[in-house]
Structure 1
């Protein structure tokens, strides 16, 4: 099978969100709040357990019924995404209630994300080989500025974002939209992601699928390079 296009997931595949502690520290600093170090670390740990950082760890405890229902459809709209994650954040008391929305706003900024060390290299190599590249993400906001700020937007031919279509992976319709946008049949398309359930849905459409580990940036220096071997 000849691969003519590669679809990539965003979070945990091409980019990684900052740590929960860094997220909280940057947000409180921007708000002009100085939390005692022990309180900041404890609050960061509680926010992580709550799953309040989009792109970070999932909630570790059962959710209240209202939040559980919202969590299931969080990537279908910008409103649901914000409500779900600020709802999780509000499970953790913070010194200023406005911090919950400020934390959500912080996670959408380029400063909160880092590309994996081989992201630019692999995307650039695919472009050089004439392979089309798409980004297919379950997300509630526009990630294009992240790609532009980190210098890799020129390598991406199409973005298919769940909230813009009200469809979440693993629904095959989202992958089909990406294949159509690139003008490549699913049988000639490779999907690369870190979530075996969500990203694995591409296989039901007929795409090849390759998984990477969702790990901190420093711990995964070359996780994307095998994609180039799969292209041939």
Structure 2
């Protein structure tokens, strides 16, 4: 099978938020002081809204936090909310400033082979504000962000949409990801050839071919 396009996951595949097992960002948030809600309660509510954050049900970071506060019967402090929003943007900028050379080399070689490159990312608006200014963006023919298309991995629809936008068939494509959000199974169900990016995140297991480094992908296409 000739691969015409390769689609990548973003976080923990092309960029990573961790170094030596710890988050690069050392930011911590005192939600009780800022919003009047205990940290553990806020994190639990945030996690409960994960799917709706990714699939665009909530239009913005503000809507998510407002919904959490409303559920707890708490008022919205606009100044505190804006402070949290800006802090989260800065936190999510950091991985884009630490792109590894072997990732860039892999993308350059794919381009050199005439293979189209796409992105399929489960994300929210504030997580990818740095994307278009990053050194990665220029290598991609198209990017599908879940919050924009109102569909998220592992729904087969997001993979089919990505293929349609690049005018390729799923069976002529490969998907590369670390396995979060059951994305590998989703890509497989959509008909793509699946590779497990095993160079950053190594705790998720799967039945798919594991790649220990970005350059290994090139050996299997």
Give the C-alpha shift of residue 76 in structure 1: 1.4
SS of 2:161's equivalent in the other structure is helix
Aligned partner (choices 158, 163, 186) of residue 201 of structure 1: 186
Q: Which 10-residue stretch deviates more, 141-150 or 124-133?
A: 141-150
- 1:122-137 equivalences under 5 Å are 122-137=106-121
Q: 1:214 to 1:122 in 2, by over 3 A?
A: closer
Aligned partner (choices 123, 132, 135) of residue 151 of structure 1: 135
Aligned partner (choices 188, 204, 217) of residue 227 of structure 1: 217
SS of 1:6's equivalent in the other structure is strand
Distance 1:171 1:151 in 2: 29
Q: How many residues align?
A: 189
Residue number in structure 2 paired with 1:114: 98
Task: Decide whether the 8 Å contact of 1:110 with 1:150 is kept in 2.
Answer: no
Task: Decide whether the 8 Å contact of 1:18 with 1:113 is kept in 2.
Answer: no
Give the C-alpha shift of residue 142 in structure 1: 7.1
Give the C-alpha shift of residue 101 in structure 1: 2.7
Specify every segment of 5 or more residues in structure 1 that has no aligned partner in the other structure, as ranges. 26-42, 48-59, 88-95, 217-221
Q: CA RMSD in A?
A: 3.6
Specify every segment of 5 or more residues in structure 2 that has no aligned partner in the other structure, as ranges. 32-39, 69-78, 202-211
Question: What TM-score, normalized to structure 1?
Answer: 0.67
Distance 2:129 2:46 in 1: 29
Distance 1:188 1:129 in 2: 15
Q: 1:113 to 1:138 in 2, by over 3 A?
A: farther
SS of 1:16's equivalent in the other structure is coil
Residue number in structure 2 paired with 1:219: none
Task: Decide whether the 8 Å contact of 2:57 with 2:150 is kept in 1.
Answer: no
